[in-house]
Amino acid sequence: MRGRLIAVEGADGTGKSTQARLLADRLGAVLTREPGGTPLGEMIRSMVLDPGGERPVDRAEALLIAAARAQHVAEVVRPALDSGSDVVTDRFIESSVAYQGYGRGLGAAEVAAVSAFATDGLAADLVVVIDVDDGTARERLDGVLDRIEQAGEDFRSRVIAAYRDMAASDPDRLVVVDGNGSVEEVADRVSVAVADRLGGA
């Protein structure tokens, strides 16, 4: 049986990477992330996120992330799904729609079309959007910020609004989980949401 693809999404500082790891543990799923997930993808991740060096223009940023996604899907995600494993990915297409489509202002439909080309039509079976209070997100956003995290408050507000919009317009595939509270509390909410939608979490 083909595995299920679950994307864990959210704005920066929502704790989604921790939750992606815990969900993958609970499901016995392959854990991976974007941009990255392959050697080429990790190189592209550095090009896009490391604050040093030439800043990619917005369209180049979108295309570089899409190129990393194409490699990731072909080399990691599809083979795992085809072998029957579930896959949990820390970010996927919805990140591009939120950050490049809404955040950078490139347009949701355009960016979604680029991603659809990159994945050859593969989309997540379920997208878990972790949503936290603004104050909590700020507290969790400590340390060195990557280039995109440095984009500023207006950009961050557009990204947060994008996830809420996407979830409202595709409620069967996107589920918003309250990310406030302890790591374990949130992990339990994520597991319940996944079990409700897909069974067996």
Can you give the binding site for ligand TYD, defined by CB under 6 A?
Answer: 12, 17, 34-35, 49, 65, 90-91, 95-96, 99-100, 146, 148-149
Calpha distance 8→82 (Å, rounded)? 20
Task: Compute the least distance from the CB of residue 65 to ligand TYD, in Å.
Answer: 4
Q: Residue of minimal CB distance from ligand TYD?
A: 99
Choose between 83 and 117: whose C-beta lies nearer to ligand TYD: 117
How far is it, in rounded angstroms, from Cα 69 to Cα 35? 7
Least gap, CB of 84 to ligand TYD (angstroms): 25
Distances (CA, A) of 115 to 4, 36, 145: 19, 15, 25
Q: Least distance to ligand TYD from the beta carbon of 38, Å?
A: 13
Q: Which is nearer to ligand TYD, 51 or 195 (CB)?
A: 51
By beta-carbon proximity to ligand TYD, the closer residue of 4 and 33 is 33
Give residue 5's Cα distance to chain centre.
12
Burial 142-168 (b: 16+ CB within 10 A, else e): eeeeebbbebeeebbebbbebbeebbe
Q: Report, in Å, the least distance between residue 159 CB and ligand TYD.
A: 8
Give dist(CA 200, CA 134) in Å, integer.
32
Rounded Cα gap, residues 66 and 155, in angstroms: 20
Residue 1 or 87 having the CB closest to ligand TYD: 87
How far from 124 is each of 50, 64, 188, CA to CA, in Å? Answer: 27, 20, 21
Tell me how far, at minimum, the Cβ of 93 lies from ligand TYD, in Å.
7
Which residue, 84 or 167, has its beta carbon nearer to ligand TYD?
167
